[in-house]
Amino acid sequence: MKATQQLHDLGQSLWLDNITRDMLDNGTLKRYIDDLSVTGLTSNPTIFDHAMTHGHAYDNDMAKLLSSGLSTEDAFFEMAIADLRRAADLFAPIHQRTATVDGWVSLEVSPLLAYDAKTTVQVAKALHQKADRRNLFIKIPGTPEGRTAIEEAIFAGVSVNVTLLFNREHYLGAADAYMKGLERRVQAGLSPDVRSVASLFVSRWDKATMDKVTANLRDKLGPAIGAQAYKAYRDVLESDRWQRLANVGARAQRLLFASTGTKDPKASDVLYIGALAAPNTVDTMPEETLLAFGEHGSVGKPVPRDGGDCEQTLSAFTKAGVDLAKLGADLQSEGASSFDDSWKDLLSSIENKSKALK
């Protein structure tokens, strides 16, 4: 049995962190679903930038959309939504079979709106309606300002993938925003069955510290942060507050492990997949990581309910001089800036390519 199937059988969903039109056209995504137990998909501006500007799959649509008078951003969303609708349809049988727990795809709002809650909600609602797929998440950053947008989007019935979470506190903020949105729906007499995932980025912790700690701590921080968040996630699901929502029909906001590609050239290429095998969670993987895990990965013991020895590991990093709270805040801020840059690069690349096509 392939390691990907074993991980799926453990209760963790395997999602692909990639999408291209070629992948849809040539059957690659369907093959990953059939052969590697992939049950969902995530996307981001960098992924679309590479897909749209390397190769020719989007050339005709790009030329037509931009010549029709659409802005570059609107043209991008037209092309991205077309792809994600096709992916959502491929995952629709899984979505139905799992009672809508799995089989999701994700589309990101403009990262430039990360600190503008009102506009984020407006755009999230418009994109969700335009995509017209029940198994599509709108990605909203879990910044302090983003939490307001998350709550409002959930209240409006928009399914949300909360992104840019880096530690337990960020996760708890996202969970609180999700539950507030659901509680408002219950008070308004609306169904609380609005789905969400909370995406915790793990590998960037180790990238930030690999040259600042001794060899015995190298590549240990990301898995420890993930295990700590997993304990918090399980605690939330067992809380009285969540149980009250579950009793009226709410479904859990699942914890999702993101940024799972190994950044350390000296480490295993499937480091985070094996380290963060956890029931009732999601792991979204870059394509090369998914293929590597399917080829030579292995599933060991799952992350313990109590996080195992994560607190001892985190304490060791603190003793080594790493300010975990500050680093978590810095990683979120840097991540938001990086997403801004990727978004600008994406729009610039589309503009440049459209000029070349003319």
Range list of H helices, 240-309: 240-246, 271-275, 287-296
CA nearest to 231, candidates 195, 278, 161, 299: 278
SS3 call for 263: coil
Helices and strands counted in the chain (H then E): 16, 8
Supply 69's token pair. 């008078």
> For 193, which DSSP code?
-
Length of the chain: 358
Is residue 9 within 8 A of residue 3, CB to CB? The reply is no
Kindly state the greatest CA–CA separation across the chain. 60
Dist. CA 268–CA 313, nearest whole Å: 19
Which DSSP state fits 304?
P
Which is it for strands 282-285 and 136-141: parallel, antiparallel or unpaired?
unpaired
Please identify which of the residues 2, 118, 139, 353 carries the catalytic annotation.
139
> What is the full DSSP assignment across 98-165?
TTTSS--EEEEPPGGGTT-HHHHHHHHHHHHHHH--TTEEEEEE-SHHHHHHHHHHHHTT--EEEEEE
φ and ψ at 355, to 5 degrees? -65, -40
- For the record, the structure tokens of 77 come out as 């969303």
139: annotated active-site residue: yes
Q: What residues act catalytically?
A: 139
